[in-house]
Chains A and B, each alone.
Chain A
Amino acid sequence: KQEVTQIPAALSVPEGENLVLNCSFTDSAIYNLQWFRQDPGKGLTSLLLIQSSQREQTSGRLNASLDKSSGRSTLYIAASQPGDSATYLCAVTRGSTLGRLYFGRGTQLTVWP
Chain B
Amino acid sequence: SAVISQKPSRDICQRGTSLTIQCQVDSQVTMMFWYRQQPGQSLTLIATANQGSEATYESGFVIDKFPISRPNLTFSTLTVSNMSPEDSSIYLCSVTEGDRVAHFGPGTRLTVT
Contact = CB atoms under 8 A, between A and B. Distances in A.
Given A34-B101, A105-B41, 7 more contacts: A41-B106, A43-B4, A43-B106, A101-B33, A103-B43, A103-B44, A105-B40
Q: Is the interface of A mostly helix, strand, loop or mixed?
A: strand
Contact of A100 (B45, B106, B107): B45
29 contacts: A34-B102, A41-B9, A41-B107, A43-B4, A43-B104, A43-B105, A43-B107, A44-B43, A46-B102, A49-B99, A49-B100, A51-B100, A89-B42, A91-B43, A91-B102, A94-B45, A97-B31, A97-B48, A99-B96, A99-B102, A100-B33, A100-B45, A100-B48, A101-B94, A101-B102, A103-B43, A103-B44, A104-B42, A105-B42
Interface in B19-76: 31, 33, 40-45, 48
Contact of B96 (A4, A41, A51, A98): A98
A99 B42 contact: no
Contact of B106 (A34, A36, A42, A98): A42
Interface residues of B, number: 25
A51 B43 CA distance: 21
Given A42-B106, A46-B101, A46-B102, A99 B43 contact: no
Contacts of B43: 44, 89, 91, 101, 103
B78 interface: no
10 smallest CB-CB distances across A and B, nearest first, come from: A99-B96, A44-B104, A43-B106, A103-B42, A103-B43, A105-B42, A43-B104, A98-B96, A46-B101, A43-B107
A99 B42 CA distance: 16
Contacts of B9: 41
